[in-house]
């Protein structure tokens, strides 16, 4: 199993600003994933972040809007850039490798005014 | 205790057989989501159920939400090796604040 923490747990931001969300895992993992859950919608994968390589983004998500860093095997950041109210969401990081079920962080609840 | 129970934990079926995975909550849910995870990949959204008694189908996969919105079943008809993976239910409910939780996962293996 893996214990995952996220910072901040919640934030209220102004339109046009950027927020960086941190994800820390208590063990070394190869694959980290960033998800978004908008109100009333399902969890949606934003990107996959592997250490030592560029993040892989899903359709509809681009690096300029959601830059990701993965400096080591226990840490990653997701930045939500130039925010608009449509970015209000819960952002979750998760880890998983091989045949293991994914483990999720507690989420970062973002409200953009 | 686990707030969203899934059963069975693992399942091995012969290709062509039908199967059912259950997801049960002790609380009334606002929304119930089914995901599939292929080994080593991110979650793939399958279906979302929000109304009591709702049933949705996509190809050979059908999901139902009971009237009380506390239990959901995922049924696969005529399973194929491509159905193999981990199936995860997720749900959000309101308890002072909105909370999103995941089930324990069901590992499905389909034998050709």
When pLDDT is averaged across residues A68-86 and rounded to a whole number, the result is 95
Distances (CA, A) of A31 to A34, A49, B7, B18, B97: 10, 6, 26, 32, 30
CA distance, residue A34 to nearest chain B CA (Å): 9
How many residues are there in chain B?
112
Count of CA atoms in the C-beta half-sphere (13 A) of A63: 7
**Between chains, do A101 and B39 touch, taking CB under 8 Å as contact?**
no
CA distance, residue B45 to nearest chain A CA (Å): 7
Q: What is the pLDDT of residue B44?
A: 80
Interface of B with A in 86-105 (CB under 8 A): 86, 88, 90, 92, 100, 102, 104-105
CB B15 within 8 A of CB B81: yes
What is the DSSP secondary structure assignment for residue A85, as one 8-state letter? G
Best to test chain B binding among A61, A96, A97, A107 (most B CBs inside 10 Å): A96
Find tokens 């308890």 and name the residue: B95
How high does pLDDT run on average in chain A? 88
pLDDT per residue as tens digits for the range A27-63:
998 889 899 987 766 678 899 898 888 898 988 999 9
Q: What is the pLDDT of residue B2?
A: 56
Q: Is B73 exposed, middle or buried (0-12, 13-18, 19+ CB in 10 A)?
A: middle
pLDDT per residue as tens digits for the range B4-17:
889 999 999 999 99
d(CA A8, CA A76): 13
Q: What is the pLDDT of residue B96?
A: 65
Complete DSSP assignment for B11-38? EEEETT--EEEEEEESS--SEEEEEEE-
Question: CA nearest A99 in B: which residue?
Answer: B39
Which two three-digit tokens encode residue B19? Answer: 């199967």
């Amino acid at each position: 199993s893996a214990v995952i923490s996220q910072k901040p747990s919640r934030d209220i931001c102004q339109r046009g600003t950027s927020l960086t969300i941190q994800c820390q895992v208590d063990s070394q993992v190869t694959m980290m994933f960033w998800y978004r859950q908008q109100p009333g919608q399902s969890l949606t994968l934003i990107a996959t972040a592997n250490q030592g390589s560029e993040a892989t983004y899903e359709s509809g998500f681009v690096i300029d809007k959601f830059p990701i860093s993965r400096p080591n095997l226990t840490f990653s950041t997701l930045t939500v850039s130039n925010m608009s109210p449509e970015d209000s969401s819960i952002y979750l990081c998760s880890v998983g490798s091989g045949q293991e079920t994914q483990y999720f962080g507690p989420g970062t609840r973002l409200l953009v005014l | 205790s686990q707030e969203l129970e899934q059963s069975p934990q693992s399942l091995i079926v012969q290709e062509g057989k039908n199967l059912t995975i259950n997801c049960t909550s002790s609380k009334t849910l606002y929304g119930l989501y089914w995901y599939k995870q292929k080994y080593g990949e991110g979650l793939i959204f399958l279906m979302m159920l929000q109304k009591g008694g709702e049933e949705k189908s996509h190809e050979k996969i059908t999901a139902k939400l009971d009237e009380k919105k506390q239990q959901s079943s995922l049924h696969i008809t005529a399973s194929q090796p491509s159905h193999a993976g981990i199936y995860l239910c997720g749900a959000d409910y309101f308890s002072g604040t909105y909370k999103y939780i995941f089930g324990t996962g069901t590992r499905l293996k389909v034998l050709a």
